[in-house]
Amino acid sequence: MSLFSAWEVSATGLAAQRMRVELLVQNLANSETTRTPEGGAYRRRDAIFHSEPLPASFRTLLEGRLGEPLVGVTVAEITVDESDPERRYLPGHPDADGEGYVGFPRVNPVEDMVDLTAAVRSYQANLSAMSAVKELLQRSMDLLR
């Protein structure tokens, strides 16, 4: 295993965090959406992370050295919130039901903003790990000079 595999691990981290950010932004944008193609109010979506071993390279298999676990992260699934929409009394609204209530998505913008900040921080941490690996590779290349 070379240093490049560490790079790949960080890349999986970046991809997973980006996915999380995309879903959070989607939730925030749709926090007041009452109409969706599926019908009814928007339902929030969340990414579920799962750690997954990187496929072993040919060389590690050849050397029989599999003792060192190297795990990346993937988005295992995207959960769709199935809870009932929040009912607000808005009789004049075109989406209001017979009693004058409109279903609104159960999205708490404050919660999502906090989560968004955490996701961005995690993304930055993965980027730092990547640039550290780059630094190590450059130092290795200096040996050739």
Q: Interface with another protein by CB under 8 A: which residues?
A: 1-3, 5-7, 9-10, 12-13, 16-17, 20, 48-51, 65, 67-73, 118-119, 121-122, 125-126, 128-129, 132-133, 135-136, 139-140, 142-143, 145
**Residue 22 to residues 18, 54, 55: CA-CA distances in angstroms?**
6, 24, 26
Nearer to another protein by Cβ, of 114 and 132: the residue is 132
Shortest separation between residue 103's beta carbon and another protein, angstroms? 30
Shortest separation between residue 129's beta carbon and another protein, angstroms? 5
Contacts 24+ apart (CB under 8 A), 65-71: 65/1, 68/1, 70/1, 70/5, 70/6, 70/9, 71/9
Nearer to another protein by Cβ, of 15 and 90: the residue is 15
Shortest separation between residue 44's beta carbon and another protein, angstroms? 18
Round to whole Å and give the CA distance between 22 and 116. 9
Round to whole Å and give the CA distance between 30 and 10. 30
